[in-house]
Amino acid sequence: TQTTFIAVKPDGVNRRLVGKIIQRFEEKGFQLVAMKMIQPPRELVEEHYAEHKGKGFYNGLVDYLCGGPVVAMQWKGKGVIARSRAMMGATKDAAPGTIRGDFSIEVGRNLVHGSDCAEAAEREIKLWFGEDKIN
Ligand code: ATP
Ligand code: MG
């Protein structure tokens, strides 16, 4: 089975949507295996979104993610990487029924992050959880 990295971004925390977002993944049948709330340092966020460095929205994106506490999580289950992305909804114009589609109207305030492939999941889990011991 796969493990992925999911984060509730600061707007999700601010809007009290943490519970609702967790509930969707739990109801789907995925297992929450690690979770922490963290005010991420800028260098961590810059590294997290390194693939977007140089793009017009990069600095605003980093500011956004550093703008408050983030709930960082590891979720486990069959096909969790692609399936959690589908549950989050597309980056642009997420469909109703998805987390972004139901709760967000701005690409720059889209509540949730999910790893987009197995390599990204491994990299992001290392980056956000590092030495933390996970049972
Ligand atoms: P994430 O990586 O956060 O899970 P994603 O994989 O759907 O989102 P990416 O293309 O990786 O989308 O973009 C990373 C983040 O950058 C998006 O979640 C969004 O907040 C922001 N972003 C992407 N495109 C734009 C844009 N055109 N204008 C403003 N912000 C954008
Ligand atoms: Mg992405």
The whole domain housing 32 covers: 2-129
Residues with CB under 6 A from ligand 1: 52, 57, 61, 91, 107-108, 110, 113-114, 116
pTM of the model: 0.97
CATH number of the domain to which 40 belongs = 3.30.70.141
Q: How far apart are CA 41 and CA 72, in angstroms?
A: 13
Residue 96 falls inside a structural domain? yes
Residue 135 falls inside a structural domain? no
Residue 114 falls inside a structural domain? yes
Strand order in the sheet with 2-8: 31-38, 70-77, 2-8, 112-114
DSSP-derived 3-state class of residue 101: helix
Residue 134 falls inside a structural domain? no
Q: In this predicted model, what pLDDT tens digit does every residue of 102-134 receive, in sequence order?
A: 999 999 999 999 999 999 999 999 999 997 877
Residue 110 falls inside a structural domain? yes
Q: Report CA(16)–ligand 2 centroid distance (Å).
A: 23
Of 87, 98, 103, 113, catalytic: 113
pLDDT at 33: 98
CB 37 within 8 A of CB 69: yes
Q: Report CA(95)–ligand 2 centroid distance (Å).
A: 17
Residue 47 falls inside a structural domain? yes
**Structural domain count of the chain:** 1
